Chain A
Amino acid sequence: MEQQVLKVDHITQQFGGLSALKDINMELNRGEIVGVIGPNGAGKTTLFNVITGVYKPTKGMVFIDGKNGTGKKPFEITKMGFARTFQNIRLFPRMTILENVMMGAYCRTSANVFQIIADTPKKKKEHIRIRERALELLKMMGLYEYRYELPTSLPYGEQRRLEIARALATEPMVLLLDEPAAGMNDQETEDLRKIILMLKQEGYTILLIEHDMKFVMNICERIYVLDHGELIAQGKPEEVNSDPKVIEAYLGKDED
């Protein structure tokens, strides 16, 4: 059997009377690229929020690399090896682009406040290490020359790439990308596709939310389809694409 890095086990998430997720089961194996699709308000982002500890699920469990991750705080989940990007970009607007990426590496540093105030060699070394790692990632994402600018000075597509760089700086095992291609033009989307394939080659496991069906079909090995908080289909892209329930969900919502 393949190595399972994420298992979502009978997850239900309620907001007042609204069930944003109903009894969802899914899993993710090491090295896979898996898509989560569904119409607006289907519960995709909520699923990410449950996995990353932003919401505590009403029912069910989340297992991260075989360990129970249910109810853990977001910073603990990040430390366990899950990193995410946000649907509505959330970079730190008053920190430089370099600092934004260094911030991602924060969870892989450990100097305590006494070591920081005493400026010990350990602290200096680890600060140089995360700075260098951040610069490397910026080069990889083609953002190196903007490193001292603020993230707000970047065009939209590059802000999304910066978010990916920041997530990579956490040294994740799994990357959760929430609509990474949203608002990108064709060229930017194509660049993103290359980046994601490169990341797969480097051994990252990727869970991807996306609206752009073509993009998902192109890149994902398996797909989960959510609608109104329910998992209505799952499987290979071709299978999902021809599933009548999926077609109905999309036709019923998007064609207005």
Chain B
Amino acid sequence: MIKKTVEFIALKQRFIIAAAVIFALLYPLLFSDLFILRMGTLCLMYIMLALGINLIMGYMGQMTFGHAAFWGIGAYTAAILSGRFGTNFIVDIIAAALVAGAFGFLLGLPVLKVKGYYLTIVTLGFGEIVRLVELNASGLTGGALGIRGISGIRLFAQEFTSPRAFYYAILILVVLTTVILMRINNSRYGLALKSIRDDDSAAEVMGVNVVRNKIMTFVISAMIAGVAGAFFAHYISYIDSTSFTTQASQEMCVMVILGGLGSIPGTMLGASVLTLVPEFIRGLAEYRMLIYGVIMVVMMLVRPQGLLGYTDFGLIRTRLLEERGKKKGGGENNGTTGTEG
């Protein structure tokens, strides 16, 4: 049953992607309700964050529990820049990416020395330090009061503040992130990441500069989170350090773990489910962390790679098409293909 479904999705993936894109484009026109629009926007923002984390967790196989820090750094960068200098959205995004990327580089450096659990602790500590700085550096960040009255999206000498404008802005960012991830996945860099995940010392012997690739991945992932943060600041127009906590980092990790390590559609699924379910089932919101805990434990036991983890629809499609081609072409080698290992 499951196998059939997966194969069906794999074969029809172009159609499904096209349908999803069209749906995403029409979404604000189909649903005029503000709450629904807000849910869609938040969903997309979490998808972006989770995609960035998946680069580290799914593709490279390292843990990171401090990702909300980059999100926060991007948000503060955009809020401070646009508040003080009236910069436009593009400038904010680029600045947020650069600043978050620089911090990603700093966090990436200890990767030279630490692995596994130690890395997890380092990222956790990093997240807390950044939050404390945000809370206490009042001159820059407004301290506990945060930053209020952040502008809408300034672009082409206009300011866009409508919910629809925000929805389309984040949709564009998510599409860009997805394209970047797909291209990385299908490149020498993707090969390097997967080999590091599987066996980093063998990867080094096979020619991969492991340290450099790890740092680069931290930087790219941090940049993605930073851009999502810049969007977030403009979107909710008020930020303080309570948004960018370790708890937020953990939520992002759970999205990836539920949806699927190393899978783009899986990440989208996980982020959507975990954003929407607690919001729509109001009674559940209070039990959010409990639910996340249960999901973590169950997934670790039953399917540690996540629902769609390491399911490569492109590969499944190639295989299926090739098998069919073979059957048509006279059926040579029939006994050896199509057997599951």
B207 touches A113 (CB 8 A): no
Interface residues of B in 44-98 (CB under 8 A from A): none
B198 touches A116 (CB 8 A): no
Q: For residue B315, which residues in chain A have a CB less than 8 angstroms away from its CB?
A: 96, 148
B206 touches A170 (CB 8 A): yes
Interface residues of B in 195-230 (CB under 8 A from A): 195, 197-199, 201-210, 216, 220
B319 touches A103 (CB 8 A): no
Interface size class of B (residues with CB under 8 A): 20 to 34
Nearest CB in chain A: distance from B334 CB, A: 11
Identify whether the interface residues of B are mostly helix, strand, loop, or mixed: helix
A78 touches B194 (CB 8 A): no
A95 touches B195 (CB 8 A): yes
A75 touches B208 (CB 8 A): yes
Task: Tell yes or no: B5 within 8 A of A by CB.
Answer: no
A150 touches B198 (CB 8 A): no
Q: Which one of B23-31, B108-116, B148-156, B183-191 contacts A?
A: B183-191
Nearest CB in chain B: distance from A226 CB, A: 21
Partner of A113 from B194, B216, B318 at Cβ < 8 Å: B216
A side interface size, CB within 8 A? 39
B341 touches A153 (CB 8 A): yes
Q: Which one of A7-15, A85-93, A209-217, A236-244 contacts B?
A: A85-93
Nearest CB in chain A: distance from B19 CB, A: 24
Complex-state Cα separation, A84 to B180, whole angstroms: 33
Partner of B188 from A116, A117, A149, A153 at Cβ < 8 Å: A116
B180 touches A117 (CB 8 A): yes
Task: Tell yes or no: A145 within 8 A of B by CB.
Answer: yes
- Provide the A165-200 mask, 1 if CB < 8 A to any CB of B, else 0: 010001000000000000000000000000000000
Q: Which one of A32-40, A63-71, A104-112 contacts B?
A: A104-112
B187 touches A92 (CB 8 A): no
B341 touches A116 (CB 8 A): no
B187 touches A111 (CB 8 A): yes
Complex-state Cα separation, A78 to B197, whole angstroms: 20
Task: Tell yes or no: B337 within 8 A of A by CB.
Answer: yes
Would A127 and B202 be within 8 Å (CB), given that A78-B207, A148-B315, A148-B318 are in contact? no
- Provide the A23-55 mask, 1 if CB < 8 A to any CB of B, else 0: 000000000000000000000000000001010
A74 touches B180 (CB 8 A): no
Complex-state Cα separation, A159 to B207, whole angstroms: 20
B183 touches A119 (CB 8 A): yes
Task: Tell yes or no: B192 within 8 A of A by CB.
Answer: yes
Would A92 and B310 be within 8 Å (CB), given that A99-B194, A107-B207, A117-B184 are in contact? no
Q: For residue A74, which residues in chain B have a CB less than 8 angstroms away from its CB?
A: 201, 204-205
- Provide the B108-126 mask, 1 if CB < 8 A to any CB of A, else 0: 0000000000000000000
Would A106 and B336 be within 8 Å (CB), given that A54-B205, A84-B205, A170-B206 are in contact? no
- List residues of chain A with CB under 8 Å of any chain B CB: 52, 54, 73-75, 78-79, 84, 86, 90, 92-96, 99, 102-104, 106-107, 109, 111, 113, 116-117, 119, 123, 126-127, 130, 145, 148-150, 152-153, 166, 170
- List residues of chain B with CB under 8 Å of any chain A CB: 180, 183-184, 186-189, 191-192, 194-195, 197-199, 201-210, 216, 220, 310, 315, 318-319, 333, 336-337, 341
Q: List 13 A-B contacts (CB under 8 A).
A: A54-B205, A78-B205, A93-B199, A94-B197, A94-B198, A103-B192, A104-B206, A106-B192, A116-B184, A119-B183, A127-B186, A148-B315, A153-B341
A92-B199, A116-B184 known; 14 new pairs, CB 8 Å cut-off, are: A74-B201, A75-B204, A75-B205, A75-B207, A96-B315, A102-B191, A106-B206, A106-B208, A107-B207, A116-B187, A117-B180, A145-B333, A150-B341, A170-B207
